Amino acid sequence: MGRDDLKSKAESGGFVEYGEEQLPKIDSMRRDKSQPDFYGVPILHDADVMYCTASEIGNKPASCYTCQIQQSDLTCGLLGPDIKVAKVTGSQDSGDPIEYWPCCDEHDYGNPATGKPSYRPNLSTPDQVGLIWINASEVGQPFGGANCGGGNGGDDCDHYIVKGAVEKWDTPEGVCRVLQHTVENGAVCTAWRDDDELDWQDAQQLMKGDSVDKIKKAKMVKEILQ
Ligand code: SF4
Ligand code: SF4
């Protein structure tokens, strides 16, 4: 629309107040801005992925063992009595043991429940809450699980990046590729990812005695066939 076509009145200072005749233009701008690729891929904010600082999770990695929803018999108050959310030690083909700690997106920092286990009436499924098992750097360490940089005994997130040729777990902070800002080494969020995590079905197989390498090979074949 050209200047000569403007029928709207100019406010004092020369700013044109839009009138009815500009509505099609404004609507087209609104439509364009609502397209997902207008500003590139949307950047997630802290609340979108339930970002927690290191102190908010007791300076320990996130796992069922620091979650107040874990029940006294190592089940989960959200998942019911049939799924054990217990750490498990598997054996690799080399014979070396490897330990895995469970965690999910609903992790709620605190001491696990004591007393008789109880469950919520509307139970979730392991897939709904993103239940996974996370390997620890050592067997028998006091706490394992997820955090950004792998400090405090945690397993580092693939999205945590640092400058220079240093080990991630020795850095106090790094940059998160998801949140696009600096994060503490000991923080965590629900976008945590590691190429070595086990899904919950794998963990159940591990508890039944399958070797870690057998499970990983079966998983690779499954992914190729998908
Ligand atoms: S599965 Fe999730 S909600 Fe349940 S005990 Fe573990 S971390 Fe907590
Ligand atoms: S580095 Fe990973 S765990 Fe940490 S905030 Fe980013 S996505 Fe979440």
DSSP string over 77-137:
TTTEEEEE---EEEE-TTS-EEEEEEE-TT--BSPPP-SS----SS---HHHHT-EEEE-S
pLDDT the model gives residue 226: 64
Pocket test for ligand 1, best of 52, 83, 106, 190 (most atoms within 8 A of CB): 106
Protein residue with its CA nearest to atom 2 in ligand 2? 192
Residue 192: count of CB within 10 angstroms of its CB = 29
Average pLDDT over residues 205-222: 75
Torsion of CA 184, 187, 189, 193, to 10 degrees: 80
pLDDT the model gives residue 39: 63
Q: In which residue are the tokens 């008789």 written? A: 116
pLDDT the model gives residue 4: 62
| Residue 156 or residue 36, greater confidence | 156
pLDDT the model gives residue 38: 58
Sign for the CA dihedral angle at 196, 201, 204, 205 comes to: negative
Is 183 near ligand 1, meaning CB less than 6 Å away? no
Per-residue pLDDT for 71 more than 90?
Answer: yes
CA separation for the pair 12, 31 (Å, rounded): 30
Give residue 49's pLDDT band: very low, low, confident or very high (50, 70, 90).
very high
Q: Is the pTM of this model over 0.85?
A: no
Tokens representing 89 are 């030690």
Give percent of the chain with pLDDT exceeding 90.
61
Q: Counting ligands in written order, which one lies closest to the CA of residue 183? A: 2
CB–CB of 149/185 below 8 Å?
Answer: yes
| Residue 58 or residue 37, greater confidence | 58
Give residue 165's pLDDT band: very low, low, confident or very high (50, 70, 90).
confident
Protein residue with its CA nearest to atom 6 in ligand 1? 64
Count CA atoms closer than 13 A to 82's CA, side-chain side: 5
3-state secondary structure of 16: strand
Q: What spacing in Å lies between the alpha carbon of 104 and ligand 1's midpoint?
A: 5
CA separation for the pair 67, 104 (Å, rounded): 10
CA separation for the pair 17, 12 (Å, rounded): 10
Pocket test for ligand 1, best of 64, 73, 120 (most atoms within 8 A of CB): 64
Give residue 86's pLDDT band: very low, low, confident or very high (50, 70, 90).
very high
Give residue 37's pLDDT band: very low, low, confident or very high (50, 70, 90).
low
Tokens representing 162 are 């640092």
pLDDT the model gives residue 1: 57
Per-residue pLDDT for 23 more than 90?
Answer: no
